[in-house]
Amino acid sequence: MSKLSTEHLLGIKYIQAEDIQTILATAQNFKEIINRPIKKVPSLREITVANLFFENSTRTRLSFELAEKRLSADVVNFSASGSSVSKGETLTDTVNNILAMKVDMIVMRHPNPGAAVFLARELQKYPKSAHARIVNAGDGTHEHPTQALLDAFSMQQKFGNLKGLNVVIVGDITHSRVALSNIFCLKKMGANVKLCGPATLIPKHIESLGVQVEHDLKKALEWCDVANVLRIQLERQDIKYFPSLREYALQYGVNRQVLDSLSKPITILHPGPINRGVEITGEVADSEHSLILDQVENGVAVRMAVLYLLAGTPNA
Ligand code: CP
């Protein structure tokens, strides 16, 4: 059985290029399996997974649950709303109590950046919990590693290889965990990365991660093979970063007109949820150049690969 160099998936920053290759190759096998009439395998029959969602989700939550069920794991789901978190229970106490019910893996989405890394460190203090594997399903503005992996898998399926691929990430980079995980993943896999958006939504000194910044949308799209278009994360913005959504759409919205003005067709990705008519028009999102629903389909196979590989990786 293949193994990863890490017990947890806390972020793409913390894993090696070889881990990414192993995950993508394993996901290819699982993609074939989940396209068969019988989609289930017994690989995680002995494993119980708890999905802890302290923040809203549609795709990630259902995708992890399906991945776990396709692998024959036992699954329990936890939402912060309706739980004893409202009575003041800490994250560590909440997770220690869940693990005491003989849970083996934690998949966690949390609004606070660093929550998954914090939890992994905390659990080391508790011998009965230290065995648990943790998968970060998105921590605030920090990382969303399985999204970057499914994006990479989707691009690899289309182009065969990520090395030398030109990828532009368009939109609200400052508040996006998808952007940061994609930057780490794409750079580790040898792709070229540009970021495009208003100066207020691109962090200063981001070039130190080996990416370029281009504020002109048409120039950025002309350069790229793939545009990964991101949502404006109004829920994470406590001040105004641009005059209005209408003006943002006029300058940075990816629409048919700008795509038709390019010298070649480009491939469109979007992690969802989409704000149609803001960062992308419905026409582009639904076009033949869009991989948006392929990304969602691939997410199940990629998450199966992550869970399967982590379950088979011994404690450090
Ligand atoms: N892409 C993504 O993380 O979507 P959800 O917030 O719906 O999980």
- Indicate the top mutation candidate among 58, 275, 302 to test ligand 1's pocket, ranked by most ligand atoms within 8 A of CB: 58
Is 5 a member of any domain? no
Where does the chain have alpha helices with state H?
A: 17-34, 59-70, 91-99, 115-123, 145-159, 177-188, 217-223, 245-252, 256-260, 282-285, 292-311
Report CA(133)–ligand 1 centroid distance (Å): 21
The predicted pLDDT at position 238 comes to 74
What is the per-residue pLDDT for 244?
86
Q: Are residues 166 and 105 in the same domain?
A: no
| 62 and 175 part of one domain | no
Structure tokens at 221: 């799209």
Q: Is the CB of 235 under 6 A from ligand 1?
A: no
Average pLDDT of the chain to the nearest whole number: 95
* pLDDT confidence band for 1 (50 / 70 / 90): low
- Whether 313 shows a pLDDT value over 80: the answer reads no
Identify which of 51, 52, 56, 59 to mutate to test ligand 1's pocket (most ligand atoms within 8 A of the CB).
59
Whether 280 and 305 map to the same domain: the answer is: no
Residues 111 and 163 grouped into a single domain: no
* pLDDT tens readout for residues 86-102: 899 999 999 999 999 99
Q: Which two tokens stand for residue 26?
A: 């394993």
In this structure, the answer to whether residues 156 and 290 fall within a common structural domain is yes
Do 229 and 254 touch, CB atoms closer than 8 A? Answer: yes
38 burial (CB, 10 Å; 0-12 / 13-18 / 19+) is exposed
Residue 211 domain-assigned (yes or no): yes
Is 4 within the bounds of a domain?
A: no
> How many residues would you count in the chain?
316
Three-state secondary structure call for residue 228: strand
79 phi/psi in degrees, rounded to 5 = -115, 140
In tens, the pLDDT along 251-303 reads 999 999 999 999 999 999 999 999 999 999 999 999 999 999 999 999 999 99
Q: Is the CB of 58 under 6 A from ligand 1?
A: yes
Q: Are residues 150 and 292 in the same domain?
A: yes
Task: Compute, in angstroms, the gap from residue 6 CA to the centroid of ligand 1.
Answer: 24
pLDDT greater than 90 at residue 213: yes
In a domain, 1, yes or no: no
Residue nearest to atom 3 of ligand 1 (CA): 60
The structural domain count of the chain equals 2
> Does the Cβ of 147 fall within 6 Å of ligand 1?
yes
Do residues 118 and 61 share a domain? yes
In the chain, % of residues over pLDDT 90: 92
| CATH code where residue 58 lies | 3.40.50.1370
Give the burial string for 235-248 (b: 16+ CB within 10 Å, else e): eeeeeebbeeeeeb
Q: Give me the pLDDT at residue 174, please.
A: 95
Do 113 and 96 fall within a single domain? Answer: yes
Distance of CA 27 to the CA centre of its chain: 15
Which domain covers residue 236, as residue numbers?
Answer: 145-296
- Evaluate whether 192 touches 252 at the Cβ level (below 8 Å): no
* pTM for the full predicted model: 0.96
Q: Omega of the bond prior to 273 within 30 degrees of 0, cis?
A: yes
Give the pLDDT score at 240: 78
Q: Are residues 158 and 262 in the same domain?
A: yes
Q: Could you give phi then psi for residue 20, rounded to 5 degrees?
A: -60, -45
Is the same domain home to 209 and 131? no
Ligand 1 contact, 210 CB (< 6 A): no
In a domain? residue 316: no
Q: Is 7 a domain residue? A: no
Do 23 and 302 touch, CB atoms closer than 8 A? yes
pLDDT of residue 316: 65
Its sign, for the CA torsion 245, 251, 255, 257, is positive
Q: Hey, what are 262's tokens?
A: 């390019």
96 plus 239 within the same structural domain: no
Domain-located, residue 279: yes
The Cα angle at residue 164 between residues 181 and 144, in degrees rounded to 5: 10
Question: Which ligand 1 atom lies nearest to the CA of residue 56?
Answer: 6
What is the atom index within ligand 1 of the atom nearest the CA of 55? 6
Residue among 60, 147, 295 to mutate when testing ligand 1 (max atoms within 8 A of CB): 60
Is residue 270 assigned to a domain? yes
Q: Do 159 and 277 sit in the same domain of this protein?
A: yes
